[in-house]
Every structure is written in structure tokens, then in C-alpha cells.
């Protein structure tokens, strides 16, 4: 790995605000982001990245690389939950394994946003279709996780497949990113210029504040899964790196821009702590959120932000 790249990433102000959030919790500060403000910022980030992605996708059109990327994205969302489930089933039980599998097969929109910031800092371009890849990867993993739970438990789940699909696609985060993507595609270019300062100029500032809160939340939940032993922590550390490197090795077999290759690796390596918990609360109430949320948010999320991004980019640069 290029150490100057790692140092550059670690001194990124958005990441430093994440660290500040962790410190604030450790020292028991009364620093707090109001819930309504946090919700607004998260919706803003999803709106901004979705709208900009839609605009770029409208300009680029559909080609072989875009279709390949979308197919690879869906393939990862379907396959990652399968081997994750069987690795964990005997250690944490069927319900928890299914929820963790869904989380690690799905994606973290905030990690994706941070990765786009990383690319912008390196002056590396990427395609707007990567937003579509992110949106496509949310629901398949949730469905696979639930189907695995049903198959390996004797109890019947009252939720139908139609209900699961509805909850997956109407989740606020998924709906916002998909809706913004579609609006970005159909919006007139001249009309879009009117909101460009809102979607571009203030983006990194809002991201820094959001990561400040994520740091506080991660620190509060980090110790909540100690009772599950080392296996949960090791999985949360090793699996994202394995998925990220696997994604790079597979995508290197296809013609793909380096920036898109990095974003695909981040999507494959990240874990959902927003959409999946919301869905699991409804379809798998026996799964312990004190396990799969801290794994995704307290371990995998900071791992990808600090080590994952420069590591994946170093591998991509070496292969290129």
C-alpha cells in the first residue's frame, strides 16, 4: 500500500470528524446532533449523490461497461449473503446469521459517499451509473437473507415475498436514492444548474457533520456484541476486506474505469446499517440488532473508511 495515500486518507477532514465523534463519546461529552438534523443530513446526502449520479448517467448513456458493472453489482448482492450465512450459522444462530448476511450483502450509502469524496480528492473520475449499482444492491441481499432464515428454521414467517420486496424498495433510504437518480436522469441540464450549489458546494460540509454523528453512534454500539465472542469481530474485520479484494480481482477481468472499480469494491465490502436493520425489524424480529448493527457500523464502517479505501486503490493501481 502507498503510505502517503493512507496518510492522506487519514487526514481527510471528513474522516477526522468521524474520529472526533468517537472521542466525544469516549470522554462522555454532551456533544449531540439532534435527531431531526441528522435525518435531514442523511436525506440530503442520498438526494445529492443520487441526483448527481442521475445527471452523469443521462450524459453517458448505456454501454457495455455500465451493463457489466450493474450485473456484477447484483451478483455480489446475491452471492455475498450466501457464503456469509453459512460461515456464521453455527456460531450465532440462523436468525442472526441471516440478518448479518443481508447486512454484508447490502451496502452502506455513507461509505459509498465517502469513497466518492476519496476519488474527488485524488482527481479521479467515476460514472454516475455507480449510484444505480448501489441502489440495485440494497434489496437482493435482504431477500436472500430472509429466504435463508425461512429455509433453515422450522417456524413459518408470516411475511410474504411480496411484502419483503415492498419493504425493501419503499425503505426511506432506498426510495430517496432511487427517486433522486431517476429525477437526475430526466431533469433538463439547464434546470439542474439552478440547484448545483446545493448538490455540490456544501456536500462535503454536510458529510463531515454526518460522520461526526456516525462516530458517536459507532462508539456507543461498539461494545454491545462482546457476548458473541471473537467470531463476530473477526468476521466484521476480515469479510469486508475479502469482499473488496475479490471484487477487484473479478472486475479486473472486464474493461472498467479505475474509479468505478474502486466504487464497486467499496459497495461489495461495505455493510448496511440503515436499510437492513429497518427491514429486519419487520421480517426477522428474532435477530439481535445489538449484533449486526455494531458489526456493520462499529467495525466494518470505520475499517473501510480508514484502511479499506487506500488498500483497494493501491491494489487497483498495481493491477492497472
pLDDT classification of 144: cutoffs 50, 70, 90: confident
pLDDT classification of 174: cutoffs 50, 70, 90: low
User: DSSP readout, 88-132?
Assistant: HHHHH-HHHHHHHHHHHHS--HHHHHHHHHHHHHTT----THHHH
Is the CB of residue 217 less than 8 Å from the CB of residue 88? no
83-111 average pLDDT score: 91
Q: What angle do CA 265, 291, 225 make, to 5 degrees?
A: 110
Distances (CA, A) of 261 to 121, 218, 246, 309: 16, 28, 11, 12
pLDDT at 104: 95
Distances (CA, A) of 186 to 56, 72, 182, 189, 259: 11, 25, 6, 9, 25
Share of the chain above pLDDT 70, in %: 87
Instruction: Report the top-level CATH class of 3-21+34-319.
Output: mainly alpha
What is the H or E stretch that residue 294 is in?
helix 289-294
pLDDT classification of 154: cutoffs 50, 70, 90: low
Q: Residue 59 — left, alpha, or beta (φ > 0 → left; ψ -120 to 50 → alpha)?
A: alpha
pLDDT classification of 113: cutoffs 50, 70, 90: confident
Nearest CA-CA partner of 173 in 247, 113, 251: 113
- The region of weakest confidence among 37-41, 59-63, 67-71, 109-113 is 59-63
Is the CB of residue 133 less than 8 Å from the CB of residue 267? yes
Residues 217, 21: Cα–Cα separation, whole Å: 8
- The answer on pLDDT for 152 being more than 80 is yes
Spans of all domains in the chain = 3-21+34-319
φ, ψ for residue 301 (rounded to 5)? -60, -55
pLDDT at 161: 64
Residues 286, 141: Cα–Cα separation, whole Å: 18
Residues 265-305 have pLDDT tens digits of 999 999 987 777 767 776 777 888 778 888 888 889 889 98
Nearest CA-CA partner of 144 in 292, 279, 298, 295: 279
pLDDT at 180: 83
Amino acid at each position: 500500500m502507498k503510505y502517503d495515500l493512507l496518510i492522506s486518507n487519514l487526514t481527510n477532514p471528513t474522516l477526522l470528524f468521524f474520529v472526533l465523534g468517537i472521542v466525544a463519546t469516549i470522554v462522555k461529552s454532551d456533544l449531540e446532533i439532534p435527531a431531526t438534523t441528522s435525518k435531514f443530513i442523511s436525506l440530503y446526502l442520498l438526494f445529492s449523490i443520487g441526483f448527481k449520479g442521475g445527471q452523469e448517467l443521462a450524459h453517458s448513456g448505456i454501454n457495455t461497461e455500465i451493463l457489466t458493472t450493474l450485473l456484477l453489482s447484483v451478483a455480489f448482492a446475491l452471492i455475498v449473503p450466501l457464503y456469509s450465512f453459512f460461515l456464521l450459522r453455527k456460531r450465532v444462530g440462523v436468525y442472526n446469521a441471516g440478518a448479518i448476511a443481508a447486512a454484508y450483502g447490502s451496502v452502506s450509502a455513507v461509505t459509498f459517499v465517502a469513497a466518492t469524496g476519496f476519488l474527488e480528492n485524488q482527481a479521479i473520475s467515476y460514472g454516475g451509473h455507480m449510484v444505480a449499482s448501489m441502489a440495485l444492491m440494497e434489496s437482493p441481499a435482504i431477500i436472500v437473507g430472509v429466504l435463508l432464515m425461512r429455509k433453515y428454521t422450522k417456524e413459518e414467517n408470516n411475511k410474504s415475498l411480496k411484502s419483503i420486496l415492498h419493504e425493501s424498495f419503499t425503505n426511506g433510504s432506498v426510495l430517496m436514492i432511487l427517486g433522486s437518480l431517476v429525477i437526475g436522469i430526466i431533469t433538463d441540464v439547464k434546470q439542474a444548474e439552478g440547484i448545483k450549489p446545493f448538490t455540490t458546494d456544501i456536500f462535503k460540509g454536510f458529510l463531515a457533520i454526518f460522520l461526526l454523528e456516525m462516530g458517536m453512534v459507532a462508539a456507543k454500539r461498539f461494545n454491545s456484541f462482546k457476548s458473541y465472542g471473537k467470531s463476530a469481530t473477526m468476521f466484521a474485520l476480515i469479510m469486508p476486506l475479502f469482499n473488496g479484494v475479490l471484487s477487484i480481482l473479478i472486475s479486473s477481468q472486464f474493461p472498467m474505469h479505475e474509479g468505478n472499480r474502486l466504487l464497486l469494491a467499496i459497495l461489495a465490502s461495505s455493510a448496511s446499517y440503515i436499510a437492513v436493520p429497518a427491514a429486519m425489524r419487520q421480517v426477522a424480529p428474532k435477530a439481535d440488532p445489538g449484533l449486526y448493527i455494531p458489526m456493520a457500523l462499529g467495525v466494518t464502517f470505520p475499517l473501510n473508511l480508514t484502511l479499506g479505501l487506500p488498500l483497494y486503490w493501491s491494489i487497483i493501481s498495481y493491477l492497472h
